A and B are shown apart, each in its own frame.
Chain A
Amino acid sequence: MRDFILKRVAALLLPFIQMYGLYVIFHGHVSPGGSFAGGIVVGLAFIAFATIYGLERGRAKMPERITTLTESYGTLWYGIMGMVGIIKGAPFLANKLAGIDLGTLGTLSSGGLISLIGLGVGIRVASTMITLFFTMMEEES
């Protein structure tokens, strides 16, 4: 798994994979995909890096301290975004009722808070997948 061609191709492709994952997360309401699929793609980029470049360097990119924080604060971010509706005097997770401008149909801003909510879910899913992978890899070795 320590191949020269594999490393170079991964170095070329992984940034684009991560950008695509973020695109899928943010455009969940206007195009196929969503925060779960996009979060898996973002987490997969880190996991592929750890598989190709070795566990130590992969762990240095995403230490356990940071994955714990992102896992917790991703969920908290979802709650904070839901509280925006309550602060504006509307139900929990309210979007148009809370007076948020929805913009033109089919663009990124037409979802209101959905993109920001999806960001929290995507971060949560990505860090969960990374934690799962490293837990399984570091169990025996």
Chain B
Amino acid sequence: MALTTVDYGTMVMLLILVAASLAMCFIKDLVHAVIVYGTYSLIMALVWLQMNTPDIAITEAAAGIGMTVLMMVAIFRTSRREE
């Protein structure tokens, strides 16, 4: 019943989410992994918007894409970049 309310566009976005989170596990360069994480957050914000929660979408876009990515980049400037 829950699946019938999810349309095909959302299904494609959820598949991209799975692919991005799997890719993050296997990428060696941590900066590249953070960029893939930004993609993950962007798609996740679109999924929230699709599920009629624009409030969470804005928070995901601001905190997930902007803040987390910048914080991770700030960490990599002071520590090792390669895993």
Q: Name A residues whose Cβ lies closer than 8 Å to a Cβ of B.
A: 24, 32-34, 36-37, 40-41, 43-44, 47-48, 51, 129, 132-133, 136-137, 139-141
Per the bound structure, the CA–CA distance linking A24 and B61 in Å amounts to 13
Interface pair B77/A137, CB less than 8 Å apart: yes
Interface pair A133/B77, CB less than 8 Å apart: no
Secondary structure type dominating chain B contacts: helix
Interface pair B62/A37, CB less than 8 Å apart: yes
Given A32-B54, A141-B78, CB of A136 within 8 Å of CB of B71: yes
Q: Does B75 make an interface contact (CB < 8 A)?
A: yes
What's the least CB distance linking A112 to chain B, in Å? 20
Interface pair B66/A33, CB less than 8 Å apart: no
Contact pick for A33, options B55, B71, B74, CB 8 Å: B55
What's the least CB distance linking A51 to chain B, in Å? 6
Per the bound structure, the CA–CA distance linking A141 and B77 in Å amounts to 9
Q: Does B67 make an interface contact (CB < 8 A)?
A: yes
Per the bound structure, the CA–CA distance linking A43 and B57 in Å amounts to 18
Interface pair B66/A40, CB less than 8 Å apart: yes
Interface pair A33/B58, CB less than 8 Å apart: yes
From B55, B62, B63, B70, residue with most partner A Cβ within 10 Å? B62
